[in-house]
Chain A
């Protein structure tokens, strides 16, 4: 039986982007539900530490800051791959979005004059990163969740979306599996906003939560949306050795040093003017070079040292970092330097969409890390992605309400019913197959391949290898088996289902990187070490072909008068 549950807008994903969109849909008069595989407050947004950018000019050295400066830094930081008019929107809307969060209760740290505190972040001309100690994401996520509670917004918690349903090329709902019971059903909506976060778990070393598998990105891709610039992955320079938990850039913003095995600061050789506060890609490659050239500790990591800041500053401004270092590495940063290494951190690419979230599929919008607007281009600046979730989450919410309506309910009901049957069949088969390879083996091989071959330093040989290996993994995946067929909380089933999508995203990432013969932002080709604007100032677009293979195409970057220059710091 098909159950009817209909909303103007269904938001898949309960992180910052999804919740901000939900508030907007509600305030603009639409009916809305948020569907999420975990309780929204468990979303990865809550792990964000450092802060959110806005040119408030609150810092004593930030008086001359302006949205224009923010836009310029974003575009330069993107290595000129960002769509310039959209980066301008990001910067222009920023102060309003941040003030609004403050009005809603977010507990930002304060300067002595009572205004929101701001700290310097890499690649920014002024200190413009607003923060709540080193728990900014937690503050913003809980605040938005509270605002949703206040508005009585419907939450569909622990529903895992397996598929976005389309009819005649238009989105009209989703199929989802209820994690606690194993029940599968459909949810109808005029507009679906996908806000599923990043896919860092495709890599072995990542700062991302276990749940960041990109399954909604894969669902959108399967529903016909194009994926843009997937080869641009941000590797964070400082992740805790062992677990790869993030050590925020704010640690260096507050004055932390990077030291090699000789106990020497080394950033002067890589970015002489800004040293430790160079953009992330540059710092990450610097650290990896130190390690590769034998100046790392145990050939694996370098030290992040904040002892000189003193116990008081550390306790006041970086309490979360201190706690993580003590809990997960047994190191108290007041006494000892923190062991760090680069790790996957953020995906600049994602579901291709415009400044209002609209994708190639009518009725399907995207927002947050899963989307590619594109404001980050080849490299995202720290503090710009929390901002992206707020700015573009809101805009997607507004647009969704504008375009809701006009869907043929009858046709859509039929499409949903068909999709439900198909999906029950897919899941039923997966669940029924108990004889074959377990997903974990394939997953680990994929993660290793991606970190080793599609990582910080890339070249033709490694990338071609990765593409071949990923094809083999997809073949192995066809015979994957779920260990048990029970219905309730069958995480094995969900992991196996998700792995199928992860392999597709990995393939698009590796292929885009193989074809792009230049170095730009997070994409560093040792065999093509220069940026090549003549041939490559363009976005990579991947469409899913009939047989499931990615078809690559290119699109121009939108300009707004910021002439590409060499990105030097």
Chain B
């Protein structure tokens, strides 16, 4: 298989050291199909064991590896080097979250927002002996929102999360909508109250960045707008 030479310029940062971030260049020769993640793993194993980044599934399902490659937020395991149209590639951590080291960002902050929206089903009444029956036509609205893998890509491209750390952000609001609109849920009122604020659904700039970037086709903006319609307008 023909190979091609790439230069990966990776943003290195070790905040506890007090040193400012810097870019470090690595050269490697790879065959077609190799992803940014695979390239980073090869660098880590063969050239520089100090390079830090997260990964798990390598199949775009676990949400570990979102980062920025040549300016674009994407899952590193799904982004092929050959597909980037250049042999010089810069790799940076997700913006809007604190860097812990190199390409690793603080996920706790992000996940806590998710917890704030009470992301669990709250059905009315006791559980039936079998499954709850649901009309398939009531089953399509929430489904796309269940596909979120919590990779934080949306968080990284949202202008609001960039300027207001208190904002719940597109992922948490999409998760919120997923339960709000679940045909089995019975806690709509409480749920609506949770996000009826400037750090909730009213904080969104409606620029659709999140919906464009989501690797799983989730459309947080749509969920936010529908939720707004269901929240009583504020006096």
Q: Does B194 contact A (CB under 8 A)?
A: no
Chain A nearest CB from B102 CB (Å) reads: 7
Report how far A142 CA is from B61 CA in the complex, Å.
Answer: 12
> Is B123 in contact with A103, judged by CB distance below 8 angstroms?
yes
Q: Does A99 contact B (CB under 8 A)?
A: yes
> Is B52 in contact with A116, judged by CB distance below 8 angstroms?
no
CB < 8 Å neighbour of A47 from B57, B100, B127, B136: B57
Chain A nearest CB from B217 CB (Å) reads: 8
- The chain B residues found within 8 Å of chain A, CB to CB, are 14, 16, 33, 41, 44-46, 48-50, 52, 54-64, 78, 100-102, 104, 107-108, 111, 115, 118-121, 123, 127, 129-136, 139, 142-143, 146-147, 149-150, 179, 182, 184
> Is B147 in contact with A138, judged by CB distance below 8 angstroms?
yes
Contacting residues, chain A, for B130 (C-beta < 8 A):
56, 99, 115
Contacting residues, chain A, for B127 (C-beta < 8 A):
99-100, 103
A-B contacts, 23 listed (Cβ < 8 Å): A41-B62, A42-B54, A46-B61, A47-B57, A56-B131, A105-B184, A111-B136, A135-B61, A135-B147, A147-B120, A149-B120, A209-B56, A209-B59, A324-B60, A327-B60, A328-B33, A438-B46, A483-B49, A483-B50, A486-B50, A488-B14, A488-B52, A493-B49
Report how far A146 CA is from B46 CA in the complex, Å.
Answer: 38
Chain B nearest CB from A153 CB (Å) reads: 12
Contacting residues, chain A, for B16 (C-beta < 8 A):
488
Contacting residues, chain B, for A150 (C-beta < 8 A):
118, 120
Chain B nearest CB from A196 CB (Å) reads: 14
Give how many A residues have a beta carbon under 8 Å from the other chain's beta carbons. Answer: 62
Chain A nearest CB from B10 CB (Å) reads: 14
**A residues 134-156 in Cβ contact with B at 8 Å:** 135, 138-139, 142, 146-147, 149-150
Chain A nearest CB from B146 CB (Å) reads: 5
Report how far A525 CA is from B176 CA in the complex, Å.
Answer: 53
> Is B119 in contact with A149, judged by CB distance below 8 angstroms?
yes
Chain B nearest CB from A239 CB (Å) reads: 11
> Is A439 in contact with B45, judged by CB distance below 8 angstroms?
yes
A138-B149 contact in complex given A99-B130, A112-B136, C-beta closer than 8 Å = yes
Report how far A495 CA is from B55 CA in the complex, Å.
Answer: 13
Report how far A327 CA is from B121 CA in the complex, Å.
Answer: 32
Q: Does A461 contact B (CB under 8 A)?
A: no
**A residues 480-504 in Cβ contact with B at 8 Å:** 482-484, 486, 488-493, 495
- The chain A residues found within 8 Å of chain B, CB to CB, are 38-39, 41-44, 46-47, 56, 99-100, 102-105, 107-108, 110-116, 132-133, 135, 138-139, 142, 146-147, 149-150, 157, 180, 209-211, 242-243, 245-246, 320, 323-324, 327-328, 438-440, 482-484, 486, 488-493, 495
Contacting residues, chain A, for B64 (C-beta < 8 A):
38-39, 42
Contacting residues, chain A, for B55 (C-beta < 8 A):
210-211
Q: Find the A residue at minimum CB distance from B14.
A: A488
A210-B45 contact in complex given A99-B130, A149-B120, C-beta closer than 8 Å = no
Report how far A488 CA is from B13 CA in the complex, Å.
Answer: 12
Q: Find the B residue at minimum CB distance from A434.
A: B49
Q: Interface centre among B45, B46, B49, B54, by most A CB within 10 Å?
A: B49
Q: Which 8 A-B pairs have the closest CB atoms?
A: A492-B49, A105-B121, A483-B49, A114-B133, A489-B52, A440-B45, A103-B127, A42-B56
Report how far A103 CA is from B128 CA in the complex, Å.
Answer: 8
Report how far A157 CA is from B100 CA in the complex, Å.
Answer: 14
Report how far A440 CA is from B45 CA in the complex, Å.
Answer: 6
Query: Given contacts A104-B120, A116-B131, could you give 19 more A-B pairs where the C-beta distance is less than 8 Å?
Result: A42-B63, A44-B56, A56-B130, A102-B132, A103-B123, A103-B127, A103-B132, A105-B184, A110-B136, A135-B61, A138-B147, A149-B120, A210-B55, A211-B56, A243-B33, A245-B58, A483-B50, A484-B50, A488-B52
Report how far A100 CA is from B123 CA in the complex, Å.
Answer: 13
> Is A146 in contact with B131, judged by CB distance below 8 angstroms?
no
Q: Find the B residue at minimum CB distance from A45.
A: B62
Chain B nearest CB from A279 CB (Å) reads: 24
CB < 8 Å neighbour of B121 from A39, A104, A440, A492: A104
Q: Find the A residue at minimum CB distance from B79.
A: A327
Contacting residues, chain A, for B111 (C-beta < 8 A):
39
Report how far A482 CA is from B139 CA in the complex, Å.
Answer: 51
CB < 8 Å neighbour of B135 from A114, A439, A482: A114
Q: Interface centre among A100, A113, A132, A488, by most B CB within 10 Å?
A: A488
CB < 8 Å neighbour of B134 from A110, A135, A209: A110
Chain A nearest CB from B206 CB (Å) reads: 27
CB < 8 Å neighbour of B58 from A132, A157, A243, A323: A243
> Is B101 in contact with A488, judged by CB distance below 8 angstroms?
yes
> Is A46 in contact with B57, judged by CB distance below 8 angstroms?
yes
Contacting residues, chain B, for A149 (C-beta < 8 A):
115, 119-120
Contacting residues, chain A, for B57 (C-beta < 8 A):
42, 44, 46-47, 209-210
Contacting residues, chain B, for A210 (C-beta < 8 A):
41, 55-58
